[in-house]
Amino acid sequence: MEECCSTKPKNDHKHDHEGHDHDHSHDMKDKSVIQMFLPALFSFILLLIGILLDHFVKPDWFSGWIRIIWYLVAYIPVGLPVLKEAYESITHGDVFSEFFLMGIATVGAFAIGEYPEGVAVMLFYSVGEVFQGIAVTRAKTNIKSLLDQRPDEVTVIQDGKPQTVKAEKVTVGEIIQLKSGEKLGLDGELLSETASFNTAALTGESRPDTKIKGDIVLAGMINLNTVSQVKVTAAYKDSKLSKILELVQNATTQKAPTELFIRKFARIYTPIVVFLAIGITLLPFLFVKEYQFSQWLYRALIFLVISCPCALVISIPLGYFGGIGAGSRNGILFKGSNFLDLLANIQNVVMDKTGTLTEGVFKVQEVIFKDDINKDEILKLVNALESKSSHPVATAIHEYAGEVDHALQLDHVEEIAGHGLKATVNGKELLVGNLKLMDKFNIRYDVNAENIVYTLIAVAYDKKFAGYLTIADSVKPDAQLAVNKLKALNVKTTMLSGDKASVVKHVADQLGIAAAYGDLLPEDKVNKVKEIKAKRETVAFVGDGVNDAPVVALSDVGIAMGGLGSDATIETADVVIQDDKPGKIPMAINIGKQTKKIVWQNIILAFAVKAVVLILGAGGLATMWEAVFADVGVALLAILNAVRIQRMTFTSE
């Protein structure tokens, strides 16, 4: 399971320097279920007839070479593919594979005349392989169909007429016509005055999202009302949904520690089992008076069948894959199974304030300038300078002040991290930012920030303090619930912000967050996270994934809010929450915990059953039938348990 949801042709048998990786999907997506079971069905019929002839009908002719050939023909359809896999594994340096174990166990059974049991072991093993392949393929298909629901064809306006064309062939700049109920095939800019969309394919939320002219709309969104027109801004392969699909495809390449341990364990464990089987066969010769080689070889073969690590090797990656799928279904993208493990044990969630716990949609509350300042003129300058920034504060000022006067000449524009903006206008210095910016440039001011709850934007012009604006942001509806759920999971919450301390304290008091710090520069946030990590505690940082890159890099898990709006966010973060909802943070942790619980249930089940049957087999108290249950039966139970995670319901409410 090195890849998932792959849309390109692939060879399911991957070879590298570490050994032979086995993908249980075995090109199964190109076969029907009946085709997959045909070899096993043919072998089963021959085996059943053989057992009837052996024990009930007992004809004279069914003996000697005829009997051997009969069981050999029954063995070939199910045994030959496994022996071929064993040979390929050996040629690539992985001698002690599960295929090798099954191969020597069944060939050995034939060698001592236990033909029916040799066929039965390989038959049930092959049936188990088919079930495993179906489970893996279904998991891949479910996630791919869940995410990639783009139409193959779209309606493009060409020469004023609608034309149906392949979505892959549409170029940037073309105009798509979208009828009511149709799904958008490519990313674009809405040309219609207004349109309402269902964004479930991208965010996991079916609540309508109303867009206005000029807004960005994304592939996978469903138009809910009147006919709309969209100007294509990205090629089919470059759409947000394509990037999300690629992210999920590559998610299983980053393995969880448990998964990596099992793989390494299997490589050490399997050769030990082979040598133990040799010991079970030969060592009794030195200690047992009536030593029978065939009897001890049979016990050794049982031992080999039981010891096959298939249940662990397939069910554990499948469990993690199920967790990634459960996240995708709820609009949470995990970049690897290792992050599911890390989130399951996370002790601290450190959150940025703006855009994470608050809407990030600021509105100007007050505009207070000195009496000798021309308010309209200074606002024009502030608006022009803020237009150079992508910060939410800039948007609020633009909404309040109106259109930017592009005739204004701004020189030497500079953004000072954690402080604000600086520029030169008409040869005079213009500063717009927080009071730390005023302090930095030795601007004297007569404002007591402690008395102002809202975010304060100070303005200085020509080396003099001109006045200030206040900006307010609102807390997200589910922020309180998210904090409460994190507390219920025994996860400590901390809020860090570059915003002024009084604003941060106001929001923290609303949400019940005890540890909250404001007036922080990017390096201050890093130091706060370092303080937590110094206590040897794990930290997940939730922010925009770009401006807070140093903190994201330092934390154990970087979680990006609003990954839908930023390609850079998708690249930076370990986990992306697509719909900006803080309620998805505890949900992501819960998915990690449930996934880890299922993985460990499978590990304990496999080891417990195998240990019991191994002891019974070595002591001669278990037959090949018990061995088959210990291997194939446990594998199937583990797989059924692993796919449970895909059916679980997780809520953020």
Asked, for residue 528, whether it belongs to a domain, the answer is no
Q: How far apart are CA 158 and CA 508, in angstroms?
A: 54
Asked, for residue 97, whether it belongs to a domain, the answer is no
Q: How far apart are CA 252 and CA 256, in angstroms?
A: 9
Asked, for residue 519, whether it belongs to a domain, the answer is no
Q: Identify the band that residue 566 occupies on the pLDDT scale cut at 50, 70 and 90.
A: low
Last residue within a domain, chosen from 237, 267, 302: 237
| Tokens encoding 110 | 């034939």
The SS3 of residue 541 is strand
Active-site residue, selected from the candidate residues 352, 499, 548, 556: 352
- Contact status, residue 435 vs residue 458, Cβ threshold 8 Å: yes
Which of 266-280, 341-355, 536-550 has the lowest average pLDDT? 536-550
Q: What is the pLDDT of residue 24?
A: 46
Alpha helices in 435-521 (DSSP H): 435-440, 479-488, 501-511
* Of 586 and 446, more confident: 586
| Tokens encoding 546 | 């770009």
Could you read off the pLDDT of 303-344 as tens digits, one per residue?
877 777 766 777 787 788 888 888 888 888 888 888 999 999
* Of 560 and 463, more confident: 463
Average pLDDT over residues 519-545: 86
Q: Identify the band that residue 15 occupies on the pLDDT scale cut at 50, 70 and 90.
A: very low
Q: Identify the band that residue 437 occupies on the pLDDT scale cut at 50, 70 and 90.
A: very high
Last residue within a domain, chosen from 474, 496, 525: 474
Average pLDDT over residues 559-572: 65
Q: Identify the band that residue 18 occupies on the pLDDT scale cut at 50, 70 and 90.
A: very low
Q: What is the pLDDT of residue 13?
A: 37
**Percentage, residues of the chain above pLDDT 70:** 85
Asked, for residue 553, whether it belongs to a domain, the answer is no
Asked, for residue 524, whether it belongs to a domain, the answer is no
Average pLDDT over residues 213-226: 85
Residue 76, φ and ψ in degrees, nearest 5: -55, -50
pTM (2 decimals)? 0.67
Q: How far apart are CA 44 and CA 327, in angstroms?
A: 40
Q: How far apart are CA 118 and CA 35, in angstroms?
A: 23
Average pLDDT over residues 578-583: 85
Which of 178-182, 198-202, 568-572, 647-651 has the lowest average pLDDT? 568-572
Domain that holds residue 195: 153-237
Query: What are the angstrom distances between the C-alpha of 594 and each of 249, 256, 259?
Result: 22, 14, 16
Q: How far apart are CA 284 and CA 294, in angstroms?
A: 12
* Residue among 182, 195, 194 at smallest CA distance from 154: 182
Asked, for residue 53, whether it belongs to a domain, the answer is no
Average pLDDT, the chain: 82
Asked, for residue 416, whether it belongs to a domain, the answer is yes
Asked, for residue 229, whether it belongs to a domain, the answer is yes
pLDDT(230) > 70: yes
Q: Identify the band that residue 148 occupies on the pLDDT scale cut at 50, 70 and 90.
A: low
Q: What is the pLDDT of residue 238?
A: 82
* DSSP 8-state code for residue 10: -
Q: What is the 3-state secondary structure (H, E, C) of 505-527?
A: HHHHHHHCCCEEECCCCHHHHHH
Q: How far apart are CA 601 and CA 608, in angstroms?
A: 10
Q: What is the pLDDT of residue 61?
A: 92
Q: Is 165 left (phi over 0), alpha (psi -120 to 50) or beta?
A: beta
Average pLDDT over residues 401-426: 87
What CATH number does the domain containing 432 carry?
3.40.1110.10
Q: How far apart are CA 152 and CA 497, in angstroms?
A: 44
* DSSP 8-state code for residue 5: S
What CATH number does the domain containing 182 carry?
2.70.150.10
- Which residues in 267-409 belong to E strands, given as ranges? 332-334, 348-352, 363-369
pLDDT(2) > 50: no
Query: What are the angstrom distances between the C-alpha of 116 and each of 5, 80, 83, 139, 351?
Result: 39, 16, 18, 34, 63
Q: What is the pLDDT of residue 486?
A: 95
Q: For the stretch 361-389, what's the b/e string if a residue is b when 16 or more beta carbons lie within 10 angstroms of its beta carbon?
A: ebebeebebeeebeeeebbbbbbbbbbeb
Residue 549, φ and ψ in degrees, nearest 5: -55, -40
pLDDT(25) > 70: no
Active site residue 352: yes
Q: What residue has token string 């037959």?
A: 623
Last residue within a domain, chosen from 194, 209, 237: 237
- Contact status, residue 480 vs residue 507, Cβ threshold 8 Å: no
Into how many domains does the chain fold?
Answer: 2
Q: Identify the band that residue 399 occupies on the pLDDT scale cut at 50, 70 and 90.
A: confident
Average pLDDT over residues 388-394: 76
